[in-house]
Amino acid sequence: MTYDQVLGAIENILREKLNHQHMDLFSPQARLNEDLYLDSVLILEIMLAIELDHGVELPEEVISRQDLDTVDDLARLFVEASDPTRNQVEPAKELVFTRAEREAAERIGVHGEDYVDIKVHCFVSSVCHAVKQKQLDHRPFFFGVWDAGFAVDRSWRLAYHAAEINHDFFRDWFERLYGPKVRQWYQPEATKEENLAAMLELLEHKKESEYLMVMLDLFHLPERENKFNQNPFPHYLMLENTDDPAVWMVRDPDFRWEGKIEKQKVINAIMRPTVAGGFIFDAADIRKPSAIDLRDYFLACFHEDDNLLTSAAREIVRAHVEGRDGVTLADLSRALRELPVISIRKYGLEHGFAFFWRSLQLSNAEFDIICDDIEALIQEFKALHYVVMKLGQTGSDALAARVFEKLDVLDSMERDLKRRLAQTYRLWCDTRGLLHAPRHDLEDAVA
């Protein structure tokens, strides 16, 4: 395909097949996320449509690339793939590890102050923001993130947010580790108006050291970045009053953003029926966690022999292949649409390794290799998602087999990472004279 043909195909897919509502700024220079509101899933849908409609298949390594910014970037991938004289695609390692190599060039290793800060869970990122302000290490709190809770509903659909998911586990452990009581001010039995009134009262009278968290629908706050373009997009951030009563200071640690937004716009996002939640805590109570509490938290979080997300994805695929509960393969793409939102939590493994690496003063070079392997795991989840989408559209038995093969690969990759993390954890315990598990728990010890 020529460049113009690819460009036309992308525009046609967005307008006709996807009925995309944000085409006013469409052009080669249009930014995929900021201008066209295309999330990673929509970009994969464009790639899949071009492959199925025009017969131009991208190599798997290219599909999971992270350096796509504009429509032009996307179009040129297919132009290169259509050229029979093109050079062979770069090895997967060079594509997959671009991020790790870039970070390595920008930081002084895992022991440097500029070590990149992973943000993959809005509740955890918010409370950790306060820990960082106290100059304490927040990284061990991410032990609970890489296998954090998600839901699978009766229609075999994966969801990162659901009524049965709460943050009690993180709240309880934050109090035990760092001290502050995270109080839930949002009352589920109260009306939205009553909860808003309670929040406004708290905001007006809270102490300077207190942090007020609220859940809102980020989809209805267009001033904020929404890379996943979820609708709805439940998300926690923090609010402060400003000198202007019509404007709030909004702090969003998970997306590394803070700025002033008109109060009424924020309230509109809070009042959406799709969201409900809020907490407040006092950072003045933050203290350094004990080694024993950190050990116990790690053990409470760590599932060395069970990769929860991969297991759930496998059962969801099986349900759709077998037609359980009335679902069909045509429903599969929708069922796993939120896989990218949940799979990025695996980046939290970097924080787990980084905490132990810093404590034990292990080598930067070894840590970079681990980061490469974590990055490869994330990219394999993206490759899986693409094949799942293709399976949902084609119903191919061969693709179904390939999906299960990729799930097995993901299992193996994550088990290897967890095995290395368990070894490092045991070394950390040994250097501090700690049992690998409490005495009353020795039968379930990691060692």
Domain boundaries, the chain: 3-90, 100-117+139-158+289-444, 180-285
User: Could you tell me which of 210, 219, 224 has the C-alpha nearest to residue 272?
Assistant: 219
Q: What is the pLDDT of residues 102-144, one digit of tens each?
A: 444 445 566 655 455 666 899 999 999 999 999 999 999 999 9
Determine the Cα–Cα distance for residues 422 and 345; give it in Å rounded to an integer. 18
Which residues lie closer than 8 Å to 420 by C-beta, 6 or more apart?
353, 370
User: Could you tell me which of 42, 60, 53 has the C-alpha nearest to residue 405?
Assistant: 60
Residue 403: the pLDDT is: 97
Q: What is the pTM of this model?
A: 0.85
* Termini Cα distance of the chain: 57
Task: Report the CATH number of the 3-90 domain.
Answer: 1.10.1200.10
Determine the Cα–Cα distance for residues 427 and 447; give it in Å rounded to an integer. 10
Is residue 252 classed exposed, middle or buried when 0-12, 13-18 and 19+ CB atoms within 10 A define those classes? buried
DSSP helix/strand/coil, 51: helix
**For 134, phi and psi rounded to 5 degrees?**
-90, 5
Residue 310: the pLDDT is: 98
Determine the Cα–Cα distance for residues 22 and 132; give it in Å rounded to an integer. 38
Determine the Cα–Cα distance for residues 128 and 193; give it in Å rounded to an integer. 29
Architecture of domain 180-285: Alpha-Beta Complex (3.90)
Which parts of the chain have pLDDT scores under 70? Answer: 65-66, 84-119, 222-229, 440-447
**For 174, phi and psi rounded to 5 degrees?**
-65, -40
Residue 300: the pLDDT is: 96
